[in-house]
Amino acid sequence: MSVPDVSLVIAVYQRDDFLTLVLTSLLDQTLRNFEAIIADDGSGPPVAEVIESFQGALAHPILHVRHDDDGFRKTIIVNRAVTRARADFLVFIDGDCILHRRFLERHYRRRRRRLALSGRRVMFDRELTERLTTDDVRSRRIQHIPFWWKHAGRIDRWNGFYLPFMHRLRNIRRADYELVGSNFSLNREDFFRVNGYDERIVGRGLEDNNLRARLLNSGVAVGTITREALQYHMFHTADPMPHSREFIDKYRWIGEARTPHGIEKE
């Protein structure tokens, strides 16, 4: 397996405890021929130690791509991570999302050119998150609906049902699904077609909306893989989005397809 079928890009900032659980979920993936690339937005040594502890456990070495901490710069570090990817198919998650064992398999099985696939997540509450263990992940206990049902959001808990047979029905006339940065995939050539994330967008929020708009502008459809590629989001607080209304209006519904401020600087 010298060339991976999938390059999994994991955006991370601190929370080595979360990363331990996420990497543990990679050990049980039904699709084995993938590489994991950690896009590290300036974490401290504990994250590097977790990564090192998992080296040799997967089919390919884990790549650790990092820059110094200077605020939320996910767009920049994810673009850098993608340049290290060896597979033709890219899957993106965040370092606070544990994966169902068939997560990568389902993304890979549904891949098509000129199509980005976006899923959703089951949002865990603080109580369940604080008592999660690696054994909950290894034993697949976390994938059992009774384990988390009472600890998930009332709306997004329905995203935890594994219903792959409904894929075609869910995608009827849905070529512009909302894109969620913790659960999406596309062909490498389509990501490069729009030049990746727009690196002018720093600070939490808006980067995925902008990417989606440019993908659609380039002729790449956005479909759903919800209730098929399942993931479980661990609770944490988040800073408010820092963007002004003017900034949001400028970058959310942008008319261009390829940003000049992406992977390649133009």
Predicted structure pTM score: 0.96
Q: Is residue 101 part of a domain?
A: yes
Q: Is residue 209 part of a domain?
A: yes
- Indicate whether 265 belongs to any domain: no
In a domain? residue 234: yes
> Is 219 within the bounds of a domain?
yes
CATH number at residue 208: 3.90.550.10
Q: Which amino acid is at 227?
A: R
State mean pLDDT over 44-49. 98
pLDDT at 142 > cutoff 90: yes
Number of domains in the chain: 1
Please report the pLDDT score of residue 173 as a whole number.
62
Q: What is the pLDDT of residues 56-99, one digit of tens each?
A: 999 999 999 999 999 999 999 999 999 999 999 999 999 999 99
Please indicate, yes or no, if residue 266 is contained in any of the structural domains.
no
In a domain, 264, yes or no: no
pLDDT of 170 above 80: no
Per the structure, the complete domain to which residue 171 belongs is given by 6-250
Mean pLDDT (the chain) is: 95
Residue 1 has a pLDDT of 60
Question: Which residues have a Cβ under 8 Å from the Cβ of 143 and sit 6 or more positions away?
Answer: 100, 101, 230
pLDDT mean over 134-150? 98
* Cα–Cα dist 190/84, whole Å: 16
Task: Give the tens place of pLDDT for each residue, 189-233.
Answer: 999 999 999 999 999 999 999 999 999 999 999 999 999 999 999
- For residue 262, being part of any structural domain is answered with no
